[in-house]
């Protein structure tokens, strides 16, 4: 990030570059809120009781996930298909309830209102930064990608679970463009030595009737 920000910048422009970097980072993620997490945990239980007759957990898959989580020094990257807009909340709820922490959940190309985006960010949602350039300076054009790549490296290095959805509903069996970008960032982190390796763990949700 420092190389991209200052490689061709004018002397004395460091403060404005720092502000641009922080603005891009704020687009990607927000600090987790323990209060909102606890409230949404309670509200989601109420919602699930109204939406579904039952919620069944596959014990074999759960054991596989827990066994992967016990691997020392290797971050977990969960991969899942995307069947409904509830998938992110449900998988986060299940992983959190099993003591795996609050995963960082990638949000694809869905259009979110500013309020919904802010709420999802507080619950662990992370977003691709805007590609709209606010400046004509050439050195700024690489900033969003550099900040995003560094952010993903830090998530993996700190062993925060990362959940990537491979497709966008209702399109099935088609790798989405946002998924390609998230996966490329994980590959880059391993290739560049930011982390020695990652564990790719498939997880999924099946519905009798998709809500």
Residue 1, in any domain of the structure: no
**Which pLDDT value is given to residue 147?**
93
**Which pLDDT value is given to residue 7?**
62
**Which pLDDT value is given to residue 135?**
44
Residue 19, in any domain of the structure: yes
Listing DSSP states for 117-176 in one string gives HHHHHHTTEEEPPP-------GGGTTHHHHHHHHHHHHHHHTT--EEEE-S-TT--S---
Which residues does 35 contact at the CB level (< 8 Å), separation at least 6?
none
**Which pLDDT value is given to residue 199?**
93
Residue 211, in any domain of the structure: no
Residue 82, in any domain of the structure: yes
Residue 2, in any domain of the structure: no
Tell me how many domains the chain contains: 1
Tens-digit pLDDT profile for the chain (211 aa)? 877 777 655 545 656 888 888 999 999 999 988 899 889 888 988 888 888 888 788 888 888 888 888 888 899 999 998 878 788 888 888 888 888 888 999 987 677 788 888 989 999 999 998 765 444 355 566 889 999 999 999 999 999 999 999 987 666 678 888 999 999 999 999 999 999 999 999 988 888 877 6
Tokens 């900040």: give the residue.
147
Residue 124, in any domain of the structure: yes
Residue 64, in any domain of the structure: yes
State which residues form the domain around 35: 11-203
Residue 208, in any domain of the structure: no
pTM: 0.83
């Amino acid at each position: 990030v420092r190389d991209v920000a200052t490689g061709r910048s004018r002397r004395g422009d460091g403060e404005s570059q720092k502000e641009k970097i922080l603005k891009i980072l704020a687009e990607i993620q927000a600090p987790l809120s323990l209060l909102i997490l606890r409230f949404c945990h309670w509200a989601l239980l109420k919602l699930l009781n109204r939406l579904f007759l039952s919620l069944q957990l596959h014990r074999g898959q759960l054991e596989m996930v827990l066994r992967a989580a016990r691997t020392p020094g290797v971050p977990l990257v969960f991969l899942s298909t995307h069947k409904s807009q509830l998938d992110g909340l449900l998988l986060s709820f299940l992983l959190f309830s099993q003591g795996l922490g609050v995963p960082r959940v990638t949000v694809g190309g869905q259009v979110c209102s500013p309020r919904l985006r802010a709420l999802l960010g507080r619950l662990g949602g992370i977003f691709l930064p805007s590609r709209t350039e606010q400046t004509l300076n050439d050195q700024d054009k690489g900033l969003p990608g550099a900040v995003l790549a560094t952010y993903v490296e830090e998530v993996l290095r700190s062993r925060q679970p990362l959940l990537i959805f491979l497709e966008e509903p209702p399109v099935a069996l088609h790798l989405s463009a946002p998924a390609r970008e998230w996966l490329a960032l994980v590959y880059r982190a391993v290739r560049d030595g930011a982390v020695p390796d990652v564990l790719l763990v498939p997880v999924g949700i099946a519905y009798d009737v998709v809500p």
